[in-house]
Structure 1
Amino acid sequence: MPPWTVSYVRRVEAFNYRVGRFAMYLLFVIMAILLYSSFTKIVHLPALWTLEMAQFTLVAYYLLGAPYTFQLGTNVRMDLLYARFSPRSQAMWDVVTIFCLIFYLGVMLYGAVESTAYSFEYGERNPSAWRPYLWPIKLIISFSFLLMLLQATVHLIRDIAVLRGEEI
């Protein structure tokens, strides 16, 4: 494989690894928010922001962790037939199917960027008692889809390398 592709694979995977490791700790943030919510309900001073903040943090946890999960190969896969294939056949099948994933992620990224731009432009807020701005979570969603798209291209490059008998 050309040196620039190897460099691209290494840089994307290193970045997604760091983001994924950071995202793992968001679970503790969610727990802290929910514990705070429980405490405030016990003392009869419930906070309005805790449920939505926990939901936003869960979205960030899930979506920022997705490229990391895909990178490690721990994503859910229907292995009924795939697991029986040789590594070369698996790579060939992945090269065919990854284009569906890349198309899907491209459409999702386009929609996420459009929605984020709308939120910035109009100051969109969540219709609740707390009324937080929605652009921060929409920006995280857009960023997550971009990282997932980059990781899918890395997966494609790795599969092409396997088909060529090379390893990155």
Structure 2
Amino acid sequence: MQGLIGKYVRLTDRLSDYVGYLAASLIFFMGGTLIFDAVTRNVVKMPVHWAIELTQFTLAAYYFMGGPMTLKNNDHVRMDLFYSTLSERGKAKLDLVTVFCMIFYLGVMLAGGISSLAYAIATDERRFSIWNPSVIPIKSLMVACLVLMMMQAVALVFKHIATLRGETQS
């Protein structure tokens, strides 16, 4: 792929990789938070009420941020009833159909995410707990990651079209 489309695909792929690797590092943060919670609760006998909830928020961020890289690397789950028997062009045709379904789904998710974020901002939405954290940061991250997933899905459309045209992808 050359020109503007090629630059778009490469930029989106790099951004997806960066966000995906950042997401992978969140595992260590979650582990540390859970160990800290276990030590303060069981050894020091002074529980921290925010650790489990912070871990839940971090896990949500992990899933959101891992989505674009999963799409880019084609690591998502697929029902492989006959897909593996198709030629590269056949796979590209089928992938092109399914990527448009995914774009529709992501569009609906994005519209709902934006609506949910707008509500959270307007009402200063918070979790009902002792810690009482704002949900605006996690909802903002959700919307940003849905936008990146949509960008990655569009990049996949360009990649599948390039495959159908017999172009090599760099």
TM-score for both structures, normalised by structure 1: 0.97
SS of residue in 1 equivalent to 2:140: helix
Q: Give the structure 2 partner of residue 107 of structure 1.
A: 108
Offset at 1:132? 0.3
What are the ranges of 5 or more consecutive residues in structure 2 without an aligned counterpart? Answer: none
1:6-25 paired onto structure 2 within 5 Å: 6-25=6-25
The CA deviation string for residues 8-32 of structure 1, in whole angstroms up to 9 with x for no partner, is 0000001111111111000000001
Letter in 2 for 1:83: S
Offset at 1:128? 1.1
1:112-127 paired onto structure 2 within 5 Å: 112-127=113-128
1:4-43 paired onto structure 2 within 5 Å: 4-42=4-42, 43=44
Q: Give the structure 1 partner of residue 157 of structure 2.
A: 156
Compute the RMSD of aligned alpha carbons: 1.0
The CA deviation string for residues 111-138 of structure 1, in whole angstroms up to 9 with x for no partner, is 1111111111111000111110000000
Letter in 1 for 2:114: V
Q: Distance in 2 between matches of 1:149 and 1:39?
A: 41
Aligned residues of 1:125 and 1:134 also touching (Cα < 8 A) = yes
Q: Distance in 1 between matches of 2:146 and 2:15?
A: 14
Q: Distance in 1 between matches of 2:146 and 2:37?
A: 30
Offset at 1:74? 1.3
Aligned residues of 1:158 and 1:167 also touching (Cα < 8 A) = no
Q: Distance in 1 between matches of 2:118 and 2:33?
A: 28
Letter in 2 for 1:7: K
Offset at 1:2? 5.0
SS of residue in 2 equivalent to 1:48: coil
Offset at 1:62? 1.2
Q: Give the structure 1 partner of residue 69 of structure 2.
A: 68
Number of aligned residues: 168
Q: Distance in 1 between matches of 2:123 and 2:107?
A: 24
What are the ranges of 5 or more consecutive residues in structure 1 without an aligned counterpart? Answer: none
Q: Distance in 1 between matches of 2:2 and 2:13?
A: 17
Aligned residues of 1:9 and 1:154 also touching (Cα < 8 A) = yes
Q: Give the structure 2 partner of residue 80 of structure 1.
A: 81
- Misfit runs of 4+, over 2 Å: none
